[in-house]
Every structure is written in C-alpha cells, then in structure tokens.
Structure 1
C-alpha cells in the first residue's frame, strides 16, 4: 500500500514524464554542448608579397623592381598552409643537445625537428644568406631583404644562423686566404646540415661568439684568451681558452669569435671540425632556455684550447667584426617589421570573420581605429627597413648612403625592435582570449618580438652607438637630416618636428658626456619618428602620412594604439594591409621602372 508521499511522487512523474522528454530530444545531438560558429579560420594559402602593399611599394621604390617575380614566387611558396605549419613544428619540438655519445665520446651535437631543417633549406637555397654578395647589383639587398623579412613571418628562429652567415662575409674578406677556403662554401646555395669538416660539405654556415657573462655588450671586458701556435698574425693559427655565455648557433660550421691576444681584443674564425678531421675543442655546455626564439639553439660554450685563425690584425677584433654586427642589426630591424606584418595580417583576417555586439569586428569604429594604427606602425617600420636596404646597396659608391647606413641603421634597429613587442601584444588583444592560446601564432610572435630589441645590442647600446657616430663624424648627421628634409613642405606637423629635432641636435654639448647619455633615448626616439614620417610623407598615400604625422608628431606623440584623431581615413589604411586585398603588383612595378 502506497503512502500519500508515494502518490504525490507518482503524480509528479506522470505529469512530467522523463522518458517522453528524452524522446523529444534529437538523438543525433546527445552530448553536444556547443556549436562552432562566429569564429575565425587560419590565415593560410596566401601570397605574403602581393597582399602587402607597403612592402610591394617599398621594393619598387628602393630599387628592387627587377626581383618582383622571384619575390612573388617565393612568397607564394612560403604562404602555403603546409609551409606555415613548419613554423609551429619547429617551435613545438625544440632543439636537444647530445654532449656525448653512449660510449662517452664527445659529440656536441644539436638535434632539430625536420621542420627546422626545411626552413633552413628554403632560406639558403633561395640565397637569403648570399644573394647580395654573389650578385651585387643595384637592389640586391632590397630583394634579399624582402624575402628574408617575409620568411621571418613564417618562423623567426632559424633566421639567426641565416643572418649570421649573410653578415659574416665582409668580416671574412678581411683575411683573403681564409676567405678563399671558406667563402665558396658560405656563399653556396643549399643547406648541408651534416656534422662533418667543411672540406667534406657542399655548403657551410657561420655563427658568432662575442658575449661573455661578465661583460655582455662590453666586449672589451672579455676574458677569453688566444695564444699563437706559431709566429702569429693574420691568417695564423691560435689556441683559444675561455667561456662564452652566448654562442649562436652551435651547429654552424665555424664561428667568428672575439678573444684577447697580447695586443688586445682580436677576431678569430673557430671551426667545429679541424682540417685533419678531428673535432675542435669547442665544447657546448648547455643550450640556453630562452623565452622566445625557441627553434634556434643558442648555447653556452667553453674553448679548451680550441684552434682558431686570426682574422685581420691583432687588437683590431672589434673593427673586424663590426660590419657583421651592423648587418645583423639591419636584419633585426627588418625581422621586427616582419613580425608586425604577420600579426597585423592575422588580426585583420580574424576581425573580418568575427562578429560581436551585432557587427563584424572590422566594421566597428573603435576596432578600425586600432587596426589602422597598427597598420601605420607597420608601414613606417617596413619603409625604414627597406630604405636601409637601399643604403646597403649604394653605400660603396655614394657617401650619403654610406652615412645613412652608419647612423640610421642603429636608429632603426633601436626603434623598430623597441616598437614590435607592444605591437604584438595589441594584436593579441584584437583577437581576445584565443590570442593567448599557445596553439595560435600570436604568443610566438610576442616572444620573438621581445628578443630582437636585445639581440645584437640592446636599446641602450644602439642609442650610445648613435651618439658615437654623431660625435665621430658630423657628416652622418648632415646626411640624416638632409634625408628627412626631402619631405619638407609635405606636412606641417613634420616641418615643425624637424625644426625641433635640428634645434635639439644643435643644442647638444659634445663635452657633456653625462648629459648626452642621459638624453640619448629621447634624441633617438625623435630621430626615428622624423625619419619614418619623412619616408611616409614622400612616398605613402596622403591618408597614411597624414594619420602618422598627426598621431605621432603632434602633441605628446605617444599613445596606446587606437587613438588616431577623428577624421582619419582608416578605410584606406586598413585596405593597404588587408591580406584579402591583393595589390596591383604589375602596375606598381611598371611605375617604378
């Protein structure tokens, strides 16, 4: 006999039949908790060149129109989905060091994921390490720079050994007998990762070892020593003993290394293998656990009597290697612009596909302000980098260009690299929560962006180098200002900014070193903005130059991204950066010709 409570329960189940409720559900959707809608897609299968109007225009303007077809084909290849995936793989499966084999023999072998080797092969087979040296024509650095900066959008870490190999050539030429042995392999197109003496290889790569823990950028504080094994002198063999806090990349075939002789800091070429087939006494202690640049193996090493050949004169190591440093700084400047471009293209793509609060993100006024501001930053950065590429092409025959290469490269390395991290962060904010997920490109871009400001000389080092160049040669200052003055009359904000810059430079007291150093960043900030603005006023559409000058040169000149003034033609600015809006490549190149 049921109780009154049982009767009430039975009535309840009769009124709300559980089984009939389940039957009303669509059995095919049992367990489904969400639908995938209103989300973006991966930006893949696009041409990194033809969808980048500022880069196309810069290539044409700075003398690289003849290379447009090869740049186009290269960009189409590296924009394929399966190729872009290499960047993810090379950073997910990072290098591993085997110091010894299982029998105890010293190996010092770094193992990489195959994706890294594919990236290296593409770079070296396309001459990103050699083209301006093997085919030194007008625009060679421009064409090579465009390819290199696009390749950094796919993956930046492998660019370290590529740029060091590229930059080593002028230094190696200081010692002709060494250059005769090494340059044919260094300049060869192709990639040979085999762990063998250079005599048995088809191609070679070059690394660099300058930094020691007690000195950092102050290489004159280095303690590594080099002792001649014979008479000594240029091209002769020395034994190196010491420790390097950073040596990149340890699987290069040889390294340009700074060490002390009786005459002071000197430059040496230290191979991993000796000509007799013996392993050199260059011992890799560990790989550095970096927050970014994960695919690239940076190492800490000991030289235990390692053999190395003196390059140049004893005691002249810094002047011998400084050209290598300058060229790697140029690549850092351009690679930072490349990181900006990768983030910008992906952000615009995302905002075109994602909607919120009743409208696509790309149609919302505040987001358009942010995207346009980010696009302006990239336009100015790539214009600066490609202008420096032309200076590299012309410096041997044009003193103005040589002066720009000396001074403006340091300014641009400082500024482009310094601006990239906040640019990458803002890109993540455009994406939202998904922008910080490790299975997206955005965290990798951010981690790479914070590396370049430190690599090859931090911000302070660059600013002090600017002061050094200005103090040593007034001609470099004149060339820098005259380059900016070519935009005089094109924008009132810029005219007044240039007047203030010239007054600031004119007020500098060469004898007050404390004041000069204290104000170096403020000076170089102003120089960088003036140079960028002048390039845009001269060459970019009015919508771009006016927005840049109004937002960067007027008022305090500093703001968070997305504070462009009312009336800015954001539609034109965004369209130039939109990866869905290919530019008129043939027309731009025809106009340049």
Structure 2
C-alpha cells in the first residue's frame, strides 16, 4: 500500500470550533452558581470567538512577531514608542470590547466582576500576554478612588469598551489603558527601598519624578500608577503618557525586557528625568494607596494561572481523544485516563477557587466576603500559581513530541506558567501575607473557617485536613518558617471544600484522596483505584459547537 507523505495520518485536529466558555463545565457551573444563568448567556459570544481558528492564529502570530522599541524617529527626535504586530491589536480590541478591563467598576450588574473574571479566564486562553495591560487597567480603578477628581477624570476612559491605541491626550481618546511601575532594580518586592525621587513643583499635587522603574509592562498605555519617594515617604503618583497639551511626558523607555514567557507583551525598563506626575493619595501612604491595585492584580494572577491550566488540559484531553497508539485511542488507555483525569481535577479546583474569589469582589460590602477575600486571595495566589508549572508540564507531555513544538501552543503555556507566581509578590511574599492577615485580622481566619465549615462532615479526609490546619495554627513558635506549608494546606482545604460542595462526586473524591488524603503518589496521574476516571476525562474534554 502506497503511503502519501503529503498527508499526516493519526494526528489530532486543531482544537478549534468549540465554545471556550460553554464547553467548560467547571467554569459554566461556577458562573451560574455564583451569578445567574443570564451571566453565563452573556459570555457565550466571547466563548465562541475565543474558540475560533482565527483567535488561535492571532495568538500564535502575536508571539512570533515581537513588539519593537522605536526610541527615535527618522530625524533623531526621542519618541519612545513600541510597535506591535496587528495580531496584538486584534486580541486587544476584542478583550477590551468584551469589557475585560475596567468596565465592571462602572457596571450596575450585581455580578459584573464575576462576569469579567470568567471572561478574562476564557479569553486569556487565546493568548496570555495581552492580558497584562487589560489586567492592570482593571486594577487601577480602585486605587484611583482615593482621589475623587482623578478618579472622575480617568475612570470613564479606562472603563470604556473601546480600544484606542496611540499616544494622544486622553481627552481626545475613546478609551484608555493603565499600567503600573512599582519595583526598582535594587529593591524588587521591597518597594520601601525605592530610590526614585518625587520633587514638588510648587503647584498643589504636582511633582516631577527622577529615577527608574525596573519593570513596567505595556509602555504604550495611557497612564501609569508609580511609587516614588516624596519628602513624606513612599507615595503613589499618577503619570500620564501624554500631557493635556499634547506634548509627551518624559518617560524614556530604556529597553524592552528579553523575558521568559510570552513574547507578545512589551515589558519595559523606564527612566524618569523630570517626568510630570500628580500625587495620588497622601505623601507617605503610597503602599496603602496602591494596595487595592495589588489585590486586583493578584486576583488576575489566580485567574490567569487557572486559565493556563484550563487551556493545557483542554489541549491534552483533545489530543488523547484523537490520537491512537498501541492498538487504540490514547484516551482509552487506563494510565492516560489517570493522567488526564488528574490534570482535570487540578484545573477544576483552580477554576472553582478563582470564580469564588471573583464573586467576593461583587459582594465586597459584605463583611464576611471582605474578610474571605483578605485571606483567600494570598492563599490562592500562593497555591494556584505554584501548581501551574507542574500541571502544564504534565499536560504538555500528553502530546508527546507534538507538544514540544511552538505550533501546538504548549511551549508558550509552559514558558508562561511561572509568571503569575512572580508577578505582584512571589510565593514567599504571599505566604507571609497570609500570616499577616491571620495575626492582624482575626475576622480573616474566621471567614476561612466559615467557608470550609460549610463542607464539614461531607468527607472524612477533608475533616482531617481542617483539623491539621488548626493544629498548625495552634503552634505559633516558628510560623514564619512554616508559612509555605501552612498556606498550601489552607488553600488545598479551601479548594477541597468548594469541590465537595459543588463538583461531581468523582472530582471531589479524586481531589480529597490525593490533595488531602494519603493517596498522593508524588506526581500527577496517581489517582487511586475506584474513581470514575472516564467521567472526569469526558467532563473536561472540549466539545465542538
């Protein structure tokens, strides 16, 4: 029999033509559970577009054609512009158009933040890099609210669902994007070690900045929130990219970072030489002013990592459902079923926690929800983001050599997988933040106890894990040394409680057996006998529309 080498046999077709929202049962059930059916319905169009071949292609192209720094124009004038491939703008236009930036802050929907979180989760699966400017724009609004005048000036533009790229005065634009600049080369997470200097101009609230920022993503954004040393201490400032009179503010883009992860987003290093800025909040209160922005970006770190997990397990389950080896489809092999089912359990646990946190933002005025968010956010940021690289690597392996080539998108997911554990505070920073919440805000621990207590008595392994956390907390002798262990335990228990209450029994059983019980084999794909693996695999595999 002649073989036609021009036709590839036994290859899985591209994962396209599915609705990224509606075919994800863990996501759609969480949205309905915490919101309403109409919230899910409103995301159907986004989900359909995210699953198209066109979206997949734009995601690949945006990373293949990296942004380019243009420091000078043809005449030698300093312009500090970044040029992006058209696929970047395609992705951004739709992300903003779907209201994934600051739109929830001006919405009267009781589930606006949940809807936005689910949309961000689904749309980020097209390509993770462009989620950065969208996330920072979302996070900027709560920080702006410390100054009513600045908030009224900027929020409508940041919340607008119009992507209006280019350096022009914000008054002439139909929409705007925000960024942030906190860390410096000598301090990193220790922002109180910042040396950038803010000098008062003599006009109330106006300063010039002198110094640098080590990481500032998306330097073509319209406005940035920046920390600098004022006479009264570390202070937050609002720095527009273009001044109201149309002249460009002095933001020198020194270079674009050659970084691990996505290549589509322009992460930059900036220098300030008399850069005009407006004070946001009081002098010396910069960290407190920007803390709500940090909280919002940490939420997006959790959502972004859960999104990477979901895309990875979707690709893996799709591949094994179409690829044959050793006499049958891979999905019918018991060991492969075990691996994919375990990947699905990890993904569903991350999704459930991310959507629960987003719902807490919608109910921020409720004392329990506020306290729950205070403790659950650093727990989730620590745990979900830490679990992502291991999980994505295992998913990539399901595709074998096919998963190691760029066209599969799996290498991008793998390179991106450590990012969210670094962004807005590393694992240690978040583990220590958990201790800070426990020691200073007793209502935070109570909120965790109430939340996990709703599932108490439903699974003995969960009950034992809750008791183990309480035993850890009872010994305060070396809590800082044990902060990571404690944070991991508390986060896993919280995930287990959510799954026991809301997930199918086989998913909750698998999670409690391996994350809370004694059945963990040291790697994914070690679910014990007796679990309905095929049901979990079928639940997680995308279905064409």
Answer whether TM exceeds 0.5 for this pair.
yes
1:72 equivalent in structure 2: 44
- For 1:3-42, what aligned pairs fall within 5 Å after superposition? 36-42=8-14
1:266 equivalent in structure 2: 235
- Mapped to 2, the partners of 1:537 and 1:581 lie a distance apart of 29
Provide the secondary structure at the position in 2 that maps to 1:343.
helix
2:154 equivalent in structure 1: 182
Does the 8 Å contact 1:64/1:140 carry over to 2? no
Larger radius of gyration: 1
Provide the secondary structure at the position in 2 that maps to 1:244.
strand
State whether structure 2 residue 16 is matched by structure 1 residue 44: yes
- Mapped to 2, the partners of 1:558 and 1:277 lie a distance apart of 62
State whether structure 2 residue 133 is matched by structure 1 residue 155: no
- Mapped to 2, the partners of 1:98 and 1:33 lie a distance apart of 45
State whether structure 2 residue 82 is matched by structure 1 residue 114: no
Provide the secondary structure at the position in 2 that maps to 1:342.
helix
Which moved further from structure 2: 307-316 or 500-509?
Answer: 500-509
Provide the secondary structure at the position in 1 that maps to 2:480.
helix
Q: CA deviation at 1:136?
A: 3.8
Does the 8 Å contact 2:19/2:544 carry over to 1? no
Which moved further from structure 2: 132-141 or 360-369?
Answer: 132-141
1:568 equivalent in structure 2: 531
Q: CA deviation at 1:64?
A: 4.0
- For 1:208-223, what aligned pairs fall within 5 Å after superposition? 208-223=180-195
Which moved further from structure 2: 238-247 or 133-142?
Answer: 133-142
1:11 equivalent in structure 2: none
Write out per-residue CA displacement over residues 166-188 of structure 1, whole angstroms, 9 at most, x where no aligned residue: 11001111111112221221111
Write out per-residue CA displacement over residues 553-587 of structure 1, whole angstroms, 9 at most, x where no aligned residue: 112756201000011111211111011288xxxxx
The root-mean-square deviation of aligned C-alpha atoms, in Å, is: 1.4
Provide the secondary structure at the position in 2 that maps to 1:120.
helix
Q: CA deviation at 1:33?
A: 5.5
Write out per-residue CA displacement over residues 72-94 of structure 1, whole angstroms, 9 at most, x where no aligned residue: 11101221111221100110001
- Mapped to 2, the partners of 1:268 and 1:74 lie a distance apart of 35
- Mapped to 2, the partners of 1:557 and 1:406 lie a distance apart of 30
2:480 equivalent in structure 1: 517
Write out per-residue CA displacement over residues 400-434 of structure 1, whole angstroms, 9 at most, x where no aligned residue: 10001111011101111111111111011101011
1:312 equivalent in structure 2: 281
State whether structure 2 residue 433 is matched by structure 1 residue 465: yes
- Mapped to 1, the partners of 2:105 and 2:543 lie a distance apart of 35
Does the 8 Å contact 2:71/2:78 carry over to 1? yes
Q: CA deviation at 1:66?
A: 2.5
1:16 equivalent in structure 2: none
2:143 equivalent in structure 1: 171
State whether structure 2 residue 406 is matched by structure 1 residue 438: yes
1:344 equivalent in structure 2: 313
Does the 8 Å contact 2:46/2:123 carry over to 1? no
Aligned length: 545
1:447 equivalent in structure 2: 415
TM-score w.r.t. structure 1 length?
0.90
2:543 equivalent in structure 1: 580
1:422 equivalent in structure 2: 390
- Mapped to 1, the partners of 2:7 and 2:433 lie a distance apart of 56
Question: Which portions of structure 1, spanning 4 or more consecutive aligned residues, are displaced by more than 6 angstroms?
Answer: none
Alignment partner of 1:547 out of 484, 506, 510: 510
State whether structure 2 residue 286 is matched by structure 1 residue 321: no
Q: CA deviation at 1:50?
A: 1.5
1:376 equivalent in structure 2: 345
Which moved further from structure 2: 474-483 or 194-203?
Answer: 194-203
Does the 8 Å contact 1:208/1:249 carry over to 2? no
Alignment partner of 1:255 out of 224, 228, 240: 224
Q: Which runs of 5+ in 2 are unaligned?
A: none
Write out per-residue CA displacement over residues 456-486 of structure 1, whole angstroms, 9 at most, x where no aligned residue: 1111111111111111111101111111111
Provide the secondary structure at the position in 2 that maps to 1:38.
coil
Which moved further from structure 2: 531-540 or 171-180?
Answer: 171-180
- Mapped to 1, the partners of 2:176 and 2:6 lie a distance apart of 53
Alignment partner of 2:461 out of 463, 476, 493: 493
Does the 8 Å contact 2:214/2:270 carry over to 1? yes
Provide the secondary structure at the position in 2 that maps to 1:303.
strand
1:131 equivalent in structure 2: 103
1:369–1:242: structure 2 CA closer, same or farther, 3 Å change rule? Answer: same
- For 1:84-103, what aligned pairs fall within 5 Å after superposition? 84-103=56-75
2:496 equivalent in structure 1: 533
Does the 8 Å contact 1:552/1:558 carry over to 2? no
TM-score w.r.t. structure 2 length?
0.98
Write out per-residue CA displacement over residues 54-106 of structure 1, whole angstroms, 9 at most, x where no aligned residue: 10110011124321211111101221111221100110001000011011111
State whether structure 2 residue 167 is matched by structure 1 residue 199: no
